[in-house]
Amino acid sequence: MSIAITTIAELKESIGQIGAALHCQVDSVLTKQTQEQKPFLEIVLRDATSSFTLRVWSDQPSYDFCIQLRPNSFIEIQGDFAMHPKFGLEARNWSARFLSQEEESALLAGPEDVRKKQENDFNAIQSFISSIRDPRLNALCRIFLEELGDRFKRSAGARNYHHSRRGGLVEHVAQMMRSADALATVYPNLNRDLLLAGILFHDAGKLWENCYAKESFLMPYDLWGELLGHIPIGVELVNRLWNRLKEKPEFTKWNLLSPDSDLVRSHLIHLVAAHHGEKEFGSPVEPKTPEAIALHYIDNLDAKLEMMANAYRAGKRIGQDVIERVRPLPANLVVPLKPVDEDRH
């Protein structure tokens, strides 16, 4: 009888022990020793949804197989999985094998629900960009997607805290654009065009700082990303693409528009530079325009709600309806109140 193939996230959310086959990629393999000086392995495994650490004891039947593993290997772990209150996800009574080429391709494509969500989110981003009325900002955003769309699709929103998965940046940007679109109807004085463009570019530097390799769930450390960080890279990227924009024959006509083209560029750069809100959190300048303030809070809100959602799914319960604090959230979480069910009397 075949065993269902599942994901790391699904296993972390399951209750009790579940028998399953997990397809994943090896991130790292460390050889350690127990207190009795017996060797064991700590293998970090990843898929499109999450990661977990597999501990392989020297008397485990698959120890000899696992000691040969290297980063980037694609493997199947088949056995019983359960959440340990202290150590997190654990595998029991398991065996391991390498994946076939077809299985590797299917794994890299991601689970169907995640793949469809990210496709829908990318389509939403394109739709929002198409709605930008300022031709300069519209063209700049389209150049970005045309040149860097593939890299954008495999970048994460962060390395650890929020949207920390392949394609997570697309999810983050799409949700921020939905929020900005709604907010612009409540505050009509906001420059919607500028705000949408700022959201697209605010984390564009993460295409280097938090980008996955083409055929991998592993996120390498990029020299440019380490030397500069995503905010300075984003500012430089806006300037580079703006110079490309100036090569278009239409730009001469656009220079007759009001506000002035260089002023538009400066305000867009300010949104990228100020989106962390305070200098102590990495912004070289604090938000000084309504659009910069709005972008900062939309960004922070989406990141925090994503972290809370992850904690509710897989966090450690320490009391009735209480989940242990997940940093950088400020406190323990309480299960949210459900809306009233008017069908029940």
Q: Identify the domain containing residue 136 by its residue range.
A: 111-307
Separation CA 174–CA 196 (nearest Å): 10
Backbone phi and psi for residue 183, each to the nearest 5 degrees, phi listed first: -65, -35
Q: What pLDDT, in 10s, does the model give residues 210-267?
A: 998 888 888 889 899 899 999 999 999 999 999 999 999 999 999 999 999 999 999 9
Answer yes or no: is 334 within a domain: no
Q: 98: which DSSP letter? A: E
Do you know the residue count of the chain?
345
Answer yes or no: is 337 within a domain: no
Q: Clarify whether residues 202 and 188 are in a common domain.
A: yes
Q: Into how many domains does the chain fold?
A: 2
Q: Which pLDDT value is given to residue 1?
A: 47
Q: Which residue has the higher pLDDT, 320 or 122?
A: 122
CATH code for position 93: 2.40.50.140
Q: Clarify whether residues 130 and 262 are in a common domain.
A: yes
Across the chain, mean pLDDT equals: 92
pTM for this model (two decimals): 0.86
Q: Clarify whether residues 157 and 226 are in a common domain.
A: yes
Answer yes or no: is 322 within a domain: no
Q: Clarify whether residues 71 and 151 are in a common domain.
A: no
Residue 345 banded pLDDT, cuts 50, 70, 90: low
Task: Tell me how far CA of residue 281 lies from CA of 159, 278, 286, in angstroms.
Answer: 16, 5, 10
Q: Clarify whether residues 139 and 256 are in a common domain.
A: yes
Residues 300-328 have a mean pLDDT of 88
Print burial letters for 154-169: b (CB count within 10 Å at least 16), e (below 16).
bbbbbeebbbbbbbbb
Q: Clarify whether residues 212 and 272 are in a common domain.
A: yes
Mean pLDDT is lowest, of 132-136, 160-164, 273-277, 280-284, for: 160-164
Task: Tell me how far CA of residue 113 lies from CA of 7, 116, 119, 159, 310, in angstroms.
Answer: 12, 5, 10, 22, 16
